[in-house]
Amino acid sequence: MKKLIVVLVAALFLPACVKHPPRDPEKVKRSEARKKRVEDKQRRRDQQLRRTTEVGRMQSVV
């Protein structure tokens, strides 16, 4: 019985101890490039929104 408990505990903790394989450097580069493109796109979208908001404010003042 005690042996079964030890084996069960070892089986539960063993997968957490196994290190995952390293990521492929090419996948890392693509992931970082995708992240940069998304951030640039979001920044451009925010700038465009700010410009249209400022133009709207200027027109409402005039």
Domain count within the chain: 1
Domain region containing 40: 2-61
Q: CA 46, CA 41: separation in Å to the nearest integer?
A: 9
pLDDT tens readout for residues 29-58: 999 999 999 999 999 999 998 888 876 666
pLDDT above 80 for 14: no
- pTM greater than the 0.95 cutoff: no
60 membership: H or E segment, kind and range: helix 25-61
So what's the pLDDT on residue 52?
A: 83
Q: CA-CA distances (angstroms) from residue 23 to 14, 18, 33, 35, 38?
A: 21, 15, 15, 17, 21
Residue type, 58: M
